[in-house]
């Protein structure tokens, strides 16, 4: 009786360990998540993008998504831009240009500083802003006047 109980306890512990291992192996790295996951898996509704925003998506994926996550949903290196504090009333379009040109000192979060992104052209930045704004709009992040 005791023997049986101990054995079944051991095997359920083993099963749990195996299940945890399988989960760890299946859990995609951030890099994979950036490439593979569809917007819905990240809780994002993808609108029909304008041509400018579609170009912005490519530039965003190449230059910003490694920190700000696919569809701007954030990563372990940077904050989500699909967040109410980045609504156009709090962070106007110029904030994006400034961020890419000068970098950003850590102030809202605890990811550290954002380094400048000199490889991104002004034209690409305008496209990126368009992409972020269209995505924000489709996900309920709208202009709110900033109150200090
Ligand atoms: C190496 C990581 C990294 C990359 C690459 C990166 N960012 Fe950031 N970004 C950050 C971090 C971290 C913050 C948050 C700083 C804080 O507020 O604490 C930030 C903040 C911002 C902000 C808010 C600025 C403000 O005024 O508060 C904007 C806008 C932004 N990033 C846009 C971009 C765009 C556009 C790109 C691509 C061209 C980009 N970032 C690439 C890490 C990154």
pLDDT tier for residue 26 given thresholds of 50, 70 and 90: low
What's the gap in Å between 48 CA and the centre of ligand 1? 25
What's the gap in Å between 114 CA and the centre of ligand 1? 5
CA distance 127 to 47: 15
Query: Is pTM beyond 0.95 here?
Result: no
Q: Is the pLDDT of residue 121 over 60?
A: yes
127-131: average pLDDT: 98
CA distance 111 to 78: 6
Residues 66, 120 contacting (CB under 8 angstroms):
no
Question: Where does ligand 1 bind, in terms of residues with CB under 6 Å?
Answer: 63-64, 66-68, 77-79, 91, 95-96, 99-100, 104, 106-109, 111-112, 114-115, 117, 120, 128
105-114 contacts: CB < 8 A, separation 24 or more?
A: 108/79, 109/78, 109/79, 111/67, 111/77, 111/78, 111/79, 114/67, 114/78
Domain boundaries, the chain: 1-36, 46-138
Q: Is the pLDDT of residue 13 over 90?
A: no
Q: Is the pLDDT of residue 6 over 60?
A: no
pLDDT > 70 fraction of the chain, expressed in percent and rounded: 84
CA distance 68 to 78: 5
Tokens of residue 20, six digits: 């945890």
Residue 66's contacts (CB-CB under 8 Å, 6 or more residues apart) are: 34, 75, 77
Q: Is the pLDDT of residue 81 over 70?
A: yes
Which atom of ligand 1 lies closest to the CA of 91? 26
44-50: average pLDDT: 96
Task: Considering only residues 126 and 13, tell me which one the structure prediction assigns the higher pLDDT.
Answer: 126
Its CATH architecture, for the domain 46-138, is Orthogonal Bundle (1.10)
Which residue, by CA, sits nearest to atom 35 of ligand 1?
96
Mean pLDDT, all residues of the chain = 88
Distance separating the N- and C-terminal Cα atoms of the chain: 69
13-36: average pLDDT: 69
């Amino acid at each position: 009786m005791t023997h049986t109980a101990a054995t079944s306890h051991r095997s359920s512990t083993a099963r749990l360990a195996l299940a945890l291992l399988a989960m760890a192996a299946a859990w995609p790295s951030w890099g994979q998540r950036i490439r593979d996951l569809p917007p819905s898996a990240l809780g994002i509704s993808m609108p029909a993008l304008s041509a400018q925003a579609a170009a912005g998506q490519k530039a965003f994926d190449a230059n910003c998504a490694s920190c700000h996550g696919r569809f701007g949903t954030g990563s372990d290196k940077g904050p989500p831009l699909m967040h109410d504090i980045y609504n156009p009333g709090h962070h106007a379009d110029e904030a994006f240009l400034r961020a890419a040109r000068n970098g950003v000192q850590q102030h809202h979060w605890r990811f550290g500083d954002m380094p400048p992104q000199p490889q991104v052209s002004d034209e690409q930045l305008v496209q990126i802003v368009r992409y972020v704004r269209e995505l924000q709009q489709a996900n309920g992040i709208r202009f709110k006047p900033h109150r200090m």
